[in-house]
Chain A
Amino acid sequence: MSENKENINRRHFLKDGLWATCLAGLAGLGGFFLGKIKKNNTVWQIDPYICVACGNCATYCVLEDSAVKCVQVYEMCGYCDICTGYLEPEANPPDTGAEKELCPTGALKREFVEDPYFEYNVDESLCNGCGKCVKGCTIFGNGSLFLQVRHDRCLNCNECSIAAACPSGAFKRVPANEPYLLKKVDHA
């Protein structure tokens, strides 16, 4: 009987020891991260200088209406009449009223400013993030149109589905207090 009791005690001792070890381990893990963690959360963003506007953003986002939209940095825009981000390469002459727009959803709109300049705006409720205009603008124009994750829409998934499908590795985790990677005017 006494042997049996001792047995149970030993088992209890081992169990308690293991329990304390686990607790210490968890506390240690917590402490380890306490020194390392950032107060700020991170969010996903596209580096526009790496992005190749492949079109995956339009289809891979878990949202039906992708969180990636085209943005315009106006200071970089050339305000061209014949905009390679707005019109198809073989578009009809602008006076025919039948010129072909690149944007499949008609989200890129233009507004006359003064002769011969036009302001180009993105209607985010229509934009699907396909990047067709971005390609046109980057290859032939100033590159003022580019794709960005819009954080009023983004769910900030732990693993961004678009990031997993991004061919150029343009998706990055950035600090939530600086959530955009906008292109800068390059006067070089």
Chain B
Amino acid sequence: MARLLQVFGFLSVLFRGATLAFQSLAVGGVVFLNAVLRRTGEESNALRDACLRWIGRAAAALAAMQLAYVLANSLILMQSADMPLREVGGANFVVAGAIGIVSALLMVVLARAGKSVSPAIFLLPAAAIVASTVMTSHAMARLEYRAPLVTFTALHQAATAAWLGGLPYLLIVIRRVANPDLARQLSARFSQLALVSVAVLACAGLVLSYAYVGSVSAVYGTSYGAMVATKVLLFGLLLFLGALNFQLVRRGPSSSILASLKRFGEAEIGIGITVILTAASLTSLPPAADLTQDRVTRAEIAARMAPRAPRLASPTMKELPEDIYAAMGKAFEVGPLSTESFVPGQAGTRPNTPAEKAWSEYNHHWAGIVVVAIGLLAILAQAANLSWARNWPLIFLGLALFLFLRSDPEVWPLGPNGFWVTFADPEVLLHRVFVLLVIGLAVFEWRVQTGRASSPRVPLVFPMLVAVAGALLLTHSHALGNIKEEVLAELSHIPLAILAVAAGWSRWLELRLPPENRARGAMARLWPVCILLIGVVLLNYREM
């Protein structure tokens, strides 16, 4: 039963995340259709058809994910509380899910009907979809100021969808449009929509942050506060790219406008996805304002972050707990029980032993040494044009082997738990996926750096994987309680994630921007420095 709950708990998380993603795409497409793609003349029919196709697909995916989420969550409730199906049927999340599914299916039908339906009609299911998500948000469960918080959450989500969810549709239409003037007109119109959306998003975000974070000490003292700060930082990065776009549309040289616009748009979408992921991650945490005890202090952060010599000696396997899974289960059954909350299928949290912490620090520090070497060689290859230094991506293969052996000592090949446990434990699975990502980085980028890659798409693999790794770090699992160690771990992961996002998208822009765009050179110099800094941060990673 515990394993079943764990699997369904993980599936429920997966479906929830996918639901949020497809909601942004579907609703963003509808807003784009109404606010940007109106009265564009002859050419507009083909553009509208393209948008409708993707709105329909996003809505169909949304309905499927929403259904899967409701089913998985219902099953968890039925199994964990021994509750009959008819009783589960009246729960708030089932009602909200049903509204979302019906609205999404209605949107699919409308999108199939195509030109015979006025774009304004699509706004009704779009509003219902946003409402269904708001029904299962933090705001809905608050004890005080529920109505205003629900309103601000709805505004926040709708504005996010209009801006970030609408951006892919802008790229689709400007790739398809033959008339440059029309492309410029559509871009200008989207810029206006984006400006309004950003203003609404920021104002609603400020109100929600005040309600859910409440104080400066909660910003750095809780996981929730730290994630809000990260979201604000990424939002600032998006605004910077948006401002560059805005300038291009208004004053840029016509020859490079569209090419640059598309490239900045791609980076904006990527960083936008990261922001949505950070937001999704936030919803898994209790608001900082509710956790007034055991916050991390500035002195504790300074003590943890103070530079120290790297740990280059590892504890032996014998010093680690014999079977970590059994130890966790035992800790929950007979250990220091608390009022701490956990989700069904999740074991009670057990503090890591000093040997486990030393094991982890050793892993991070050796990884740091490898990444510093990669960063330095990449800078050297670029600055001094040394051909041998261009083989730097191969160092990633050593890193992949190191991570595979040491990231989860309780699991095969070092530990007593077999290979298939990898697929049952989300954290181990995540680590194994990271190993595959690192191997991908090594192979693809080595071919690019040494001139072996013939396809123009292959160079994009490296920036994409680095950016995805950064986004994944921001969505790493969080403890529900305000456990200090979790917050301190979060604070050390956040700079790594932001640097990875910056490295990935600056390399992307270096590759994709037209040569005449002056930002290209700056981007080329930025990403190796970001990689070097990732290594430096890893070298100072601490768990005690």
Do A and B bind?
Answer: no
Q: Could you list which residues of chain A lie within 8 angstroms of chain B, going by C-beta atoms?
A: none
Interface on B for A, CB 8 Å cutoff? none
